[in-house]
Amino acid sequence: MFEAMLDGWRAQQLARGLTATFILSSCRLVVRFQEHSNEYPWRWSAHHLDEFLADRRSRERPVTLATLRANAGAIRMFCAYLTDPRYGWAGLCEQVFGDVPTQVVFEWNAPRHRTDDAVPPARRSLTKEELQRFFDTVVDVVDAEFAKGSKRWLPALRDSIAFKVAYAYGLRRRELAMLEHVDFGPNPHVPAYQGFGAVQVRWAKGVAGSGPRRRTVLTVPEFDWVVDLLQFWLSPAGRQRFATADRSNLMWPSERSGAAVVRTFDRSFQQIRQLAGLPEKLSLHALRHSYVTHLIEAGYDPLFIQQQVGHSYSSTTALYTSVSADFKHKTVQKMIATRLATTHQEVPDA
């Protein structure tokens, strides 16, 4: 019966379009849970899950909270499949075993997702002052390497432009590394941006097991300086200086291999961050957080920002936002001014 349940769940996950690797991992986790509990699904209870997750966290090398959340998620999905009346497992188990499967993963016994207070320092956004210092340092490095006659000036130029593109479009690291120059195109509503009014992000992060998703990110007026930057980079004076530029359509060629990879940008970001005197815990992903925060401060609609960065839920976008104290004060002042104006209008003349 248990094997039949697993086979049915595999088919259900395939029908949902989940990847074979994700399905295999989920099924293995459920089997491991069954072996740990020494019971079958129609006799599982919440305390079985508690003991299973507790053991995984109390080992000599405990699993991370992210892994623990994934484990609980797999068991939750399996139980949801079994308890759905449309699949008939509950009725069959009651007929055969005199017992029925139940959901054993609940809000109070599953690992919680991060909240605003739990966002690590590496994930915060850069202030505008920090951002300016970072980009100024990038330019200084390019100028210094060029002045020395060093071959390193060209990779430094590439990285400086890549960082600015990552910020201007709110890209993740992999999305940045996998960009191709053919991904850029016009926005018919803003002809002034010519061929750089939008970018197709084809390697966007998908939901668990779904593989990459696509999204279109529009060039916004706050970051329209990126248009000139992209035009320069895709001219003979930019990207074409690399001998490997013609080997692929990727935006960021390298001197020896086909193109720069994620770790290339990570290392470069760390070096610039150190030279700029910024906190060590800041990562390249902070540029994406900065994009969200600065659009919020500029007054863009939260739903538009959510669609730009490819978040399925507004709560995820909210975690990216760390607006400045100055912005908060101005917002409060505007609200007070609006309230006062409304109050004066409502007070009748004496």
pLDDT band at 212 (very low <50, low <70, confident <90, very high): low
Structure-block tokens of residue 61: 């090398």
> 120-330 — its CATH code?
1.10.443.10
| Dihedral sign of CA atoms 126, 129, 133, 136 in order | positive
In this structure, are strands 213-218 and 184-185 parallel, antiparallel, or unpaired?
unpaired
What pLDDT score does 185 carry? 95
Percent of the chain with pLDDT over 70: 83
Neighbours of 181 (CB within 10 A): 16
Residue 36 pairs in a beta bridge with: none
Whether pLDDT at 258 is above 90: no
The pLDDT mean for the chain works out to 86
In tens, the pLDDT along 164-199 reads 999 999 999 999 999 999 999 999 999 999 999 999
| Dihedral sign of CA atoms 73, 11, 20, 39 in order | positive
Q: In whole angstroms, give the CA distance from residue 216 to residue 218.
A: 6
Identity of residue 142: V
Mean pLDDT (whole number) for 315-344: 53
Report the side by side order of strands in the sheet with 184-185.
184-185, 198-204, 213-218
Contact between 202 and 211 (Cβ < 8 Å):
no
Q: Which residue has the tokens 């994620």?
A: 262
Whether pLDDT at 345 is above 80: no
Residue 48, C-beta contacts closer than 8 angstroms, at least 6 positions apart: 33, 36, 37, 39, 104
Structure-block tokens of residue 174: 């992999």
Neighbours of 290 (CB within 10 A): 23
Q: Where in the chain is the domain with CATH 1.10.443.10?
A: 120-330
Q: Is the pTM of this model over 0.75?
A: no
Helix residue spans in the chain (DSSP H) = 2-15, 20-37, 46-57, 65-83, 89-97, 128-147, 153-169, 173-177, 225-233, 262-275, 286-297, 302-309, 314-320, 325-346
Whether pLDDT at 332 is above 50: no
Contact between 23 and 74 (Cβ < 8 Å):
no
Whether pLDDT at 66 is above 90: no
Whether pLDDT at 322 is above 70: no
Q: In whole angstroms, give the CA distance from residue 301 to residue 232.
A: 31
Whether pLDDT at 346 is above 60: no
